């Protein structure tokens, strides 16, 4: 139901499948005594062109209370021109964490990609970590684990990979300290 309500407000996103392009998660399930609930919402909108400024990616943090819902914060500048994929990371009673990743729309070959970890809470949306531009990125995040695979293009052949780097990161949601992402393992394989 929430997804349908958001789609009425946001409209169609750039993604073709009806349930992609709009990501919604909550820190807590509904209960009879719920007095507050945090929602993280991420979506991409098509702005008319490929490349920088051609798409917009928005990550919102909402706080629901029985008498009102308020926008706690918004992040909408990190992924302009990029596609959006989201994997949900650790969620606690008062925060939702997510791995956002995407490629520059209209890029050729292995493309320009990046990945970021965001924390949504009642104070707003904060970027915790972000990669530099990567080529041919594949990303997976779950709980407190993030894995990335990205390419090193061959000299003179931007669409071919001459090496793949595999990296594993640990996400510490920061229950008593600021959240952090730490490299656990990295290996590069040349072809």
CA–centroid distance for 48 within its chain? 22
Q: What is the pLDDT of residues 66-123, one digit of tens each?
A: 888 999 999 998 988 888 999 999 988 789 999 999 998 877 778 899 999 999 999 9
Report the candidate in 64, 46, 48, 66 with the shortest Cα–Cα distance to residue 56. 46
Residue 2: predicted pLDDT: 53
Residue 9: predicted pLDDT: 56
Task: With beta carbons less than 8 A apart as the criterion, state whether 146 and 140 touch.
Answer: yes
Residue 170: predicted pLDDT: 97
Q: Which residue has the tokens 């730490």?
A: 182
Give the C-alpha separation, 21 to 86, whole Å.
9
Q: What is the pTM of this model?
A: 0.86
């Amino acid at each position: 139901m929430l997804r349908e309500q958001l789609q009425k407000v946001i409209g169609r996103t750039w993604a073709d499948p009806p349930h992609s392009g709009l990501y919604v998660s909550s820190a807590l399930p509904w209960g009879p005594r719920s007095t507050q609930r945090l929602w993280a919402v991420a979506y991409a909108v098509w702005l008319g062109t490929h490349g920088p400024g051609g798409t917009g990616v928005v990550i919102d943090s909402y706080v629901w209370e029985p008498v009102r819902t308020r926008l706690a914060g918004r992040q909408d500048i990190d992924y302009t021109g990029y596609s959006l994929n989201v994997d949900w990371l650790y969620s606690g009673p008062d925060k939702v964490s997510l791995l956002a990743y995407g490629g520059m729309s209209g890029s050729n070959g292995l493309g320009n990609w990046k990945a970021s970890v965001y924390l949504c809470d009642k104070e707003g949306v904060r970027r915790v970590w972000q990669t530099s531009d990567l080529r041919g990125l594949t990303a997976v995040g779950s709980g407190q684990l993030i894995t990335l695979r990205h390419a090193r293009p061959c000299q003179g052949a931007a669409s071919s990979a001459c090496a793949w780097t595999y990296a594993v990161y640990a996400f510490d949601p920061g229950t008593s300290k600021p959240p952090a992402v730490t490299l656990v393992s990295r290996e590069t394989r040349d072809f």
